[in-house]
Amino acid sequence: MGDEVILMSFWSSMFGMRTMIALEEKGVKYEYREEDVINNNKSPLVLEMNKIHKKIPVLIHNGKPVCESIIQIQYIDEVWSDKNPFLPTDPIQRAQALFWADFIEKKLFRCGRKTWATKGEELEAAKKELIEVLKTLQSELGDKPYFGGDTFGFVDIVLIGFYSWFPAYQKFGNFSVEPECSKLMAWGKRCMQRECVAKALPDSEKLFGYVLQLKKVYGVQ
Amino acid sequence: MGDEVILMSFWSSMFGMRTMIALEEKGVKYEYREEDVINNNKSPLVLEMNKIHKKIPVLIHNGKPVCESIIQIQYIDEVWSDKNPFLPTDPIQRAQALFWADFIEKKLFRCGRKTWATKGEELEAAKKELIEVLKTLQSELGDKPYFGGDTFGFVDIVLIGFYSWFPAYQKFGNFSVEPECSKLMAWGKRCMQRECVAKALPDSEKLFGYVLQLKKVYGVQ
């Protein structure tokens, strides 16, 4: 069957990175389209395919859209189920993986963003919270090589895009997560050895430049 | 197999209602335990079984916890798969159902809460947003009897608990969603004809009293 798969995203989006990694891990052939997010000039196709949120990443499979990155990973796992399963088969383990994905979704973007977009007390609180969130994740990782156990799985895909942002969080927030989260950092390095991950994650210097642009756009000194 | 299923929740929680309805729709025998949420005096079992968020509802199946109501519905659908499937089998339709569940999760609680917890401009903005959210959902419902099509499904379960809160939103926000959302209200009435739904949803008058209590607790005049 001639599958037509299109991913519309933006290079710095940790959400888009997830979907790209999921496609790559499954060996799906897809067309990548970079969207002009920073100038808020997204293509008509994004606006048409994600009418409700008008956000990237948007995955289009044979003309039909799938929105929201976590749902995209689940979708990719279901459709291309013959290779590299992301979610475990046991319902309790599946529920736990979905729980950690939801935890990452609820916590990490919000306090990560504050490391470069806020100052003073708000910044200090965000740094503390970020370290707590990462320590909680590290504790869930435990001594396993991946959140998925011996294999790179669903939670790994959901979290790894944020790892590429850690240098920016640390630089602009002027703090370090490494002393308290060394095991989590080692997990990130381990994931980066995978070709699919290395390909999807951006370079830190490029990200620093992008955050400086964002700070200007949002008027953050 | 002797399944031990426990649901720990609080009567007014639209999230807990979901899980109760899901269990009832599947005909699962379970023990319901009411938690003392209003006095912040939850049982040690809730705190132990949901260490991360310490929130209800918590579902315990044969000693193992499942947290977050949307994940609980998915779990129940997977474990008791022989009766009344909630999610469609087609991956695109599944992704769409998950998308709407996520939309409800992101939008409805936050602006619904503001109808009784805020005043002035913030309240007016919340009322407008709530009506927009409900109109969007109504548009997705279209002329179908249920979000699940001809059968009561995943999105119906996710949304219906909020329907029991509409009278409180309208009373305390001093507005009406009915003129613009008559089809959605008709959907709610249709769902209420199901025994499982009617059993799980609380009485409006009881909810009014509870919101008055909440307003005192949060110092909202």
Residue-wise pLDDT for B80-92, tens only, equals 999 999 999 999 9
The mean pLDDT value for B177-203 works out to: 97
CB contact under 8 A, B99 and A75: no
Is residue A119 within 8 A of residue B99, CB to CB? The reply is: no
3-class secondary-structure state, position A119: coil
| Percentage of chain B modeled with pLDDT above 90 | 94
Q: What is the pLDDT of residues A16-46, one digit of tens each?
A: 999 999 999 999 999 999 999 888 899 999 9
Q: Compute the nearest-CA separation of B49 from chain A (Å).
A: 12
Instruction: Please report the pLDDT score of residue A1 as a whole number.
Output: 57
A64 touches chain B (CB under 8 A): yes
pLDDT at position A98 is: 98
B109 touches chain A (CB under 8 A): no
Q: Position B104: which residue type?
A: I
Mean per-residue pLDDT over chain B, rounded:
96
Token pair 């955050």 is found at A211
State whether A67 and B99 contact (CB < 8 Å).
yes
Mutate to test the interface with A, among B19, B82, B94, B100 (most CBs of A within 10 A): B94
Q: How far apart are CA B12 and CA B7, in angstroms?
A: 14
The tokens describing A86, both together, are 């992301």
Mark yes or no for CB contact B98/A52 under 8 Å: no
Distance from CA of residue B205 to its chain's centroid?
18
Instruction: Quote the pLDDT of residue B213.
Output: 93
Name the nearest CA neighbour of B41 among B8, B67, B83.
B8
Q: Which of B64, B99, B136 sits opposite A71 (nearest CB)?
A: B99
**For residue B166, pLDDT beyond 60:** yes
Q: CA of B63: which chain A residue's CA is closest?
A: A92
Query: What is the fold, at CATH topology level, of the domain defined by A5-79?
Result: Glutaredoxin (3.40.30)
- Domain chopping of chain B, boundaries: 5-79, 91-217
pLDDT score recorded for residue A208: 97
* Segments in chain B forming alpha helices (H): 14-26, 44-49, 69-79, 91-117, 120-141, 154-163, 166-173, 182-192, 195-200, 204-217
* pLDDT the model gives residue B1: 58
Per-residue pLDDT reduced to its tens digit, B113-160: 999 999 999 999 999 999 999 999 999 999 999 999 999 999 999 999
Mean pLDDT of A166-177: 96
Chain B residues near residue A99 by CB distance under 8 angstroms: 52, 66-68, 71
B218 vs B137, which has greater pLDDT? B137
> How many helices (H) does chain A have, and how many strands (E)?
10, 4
Query: How many residues would you count in chain A?
Result: 221
Contact A71 B102 (CB under 8 A): yes
Q: Which of A78, A41, A39, A40 is nearest to A59 (CA)?
A: A78
Based on the number of CB atoms within 10 Å of its own CB, is B21 exposed (0-12), middle (13-18) or buried (19 or more)? buried
pLDDT digits (tens, 9 = 90+) for A140-152: 999 999 999 999 9
pLDDT for the residue B77: 98
Q: Would the pLDDT of A221 be above 90?
A: no
Contact A64 B94 (CB under 8 A): no
Cis peptide before A57 (omega within 30 of 0): yes
Task: Say if CB B117 and CB B130 are below 8 A apart.
Answer: no
Question: What mean pLDDT comes out for the span B159-174?
Answer: 97
**CATH class label, B91-217:** mainly alpha
A81 inside 8 A of chain B by CB:
no
Q: What is the ipTM of this complex?
A: 0.96
More confidently predicted of A39 and A100: A100
CB B146 within 8 A of CB B187: yes
Q: First vs last Cα of chain B: how many Å apart?
A: 53
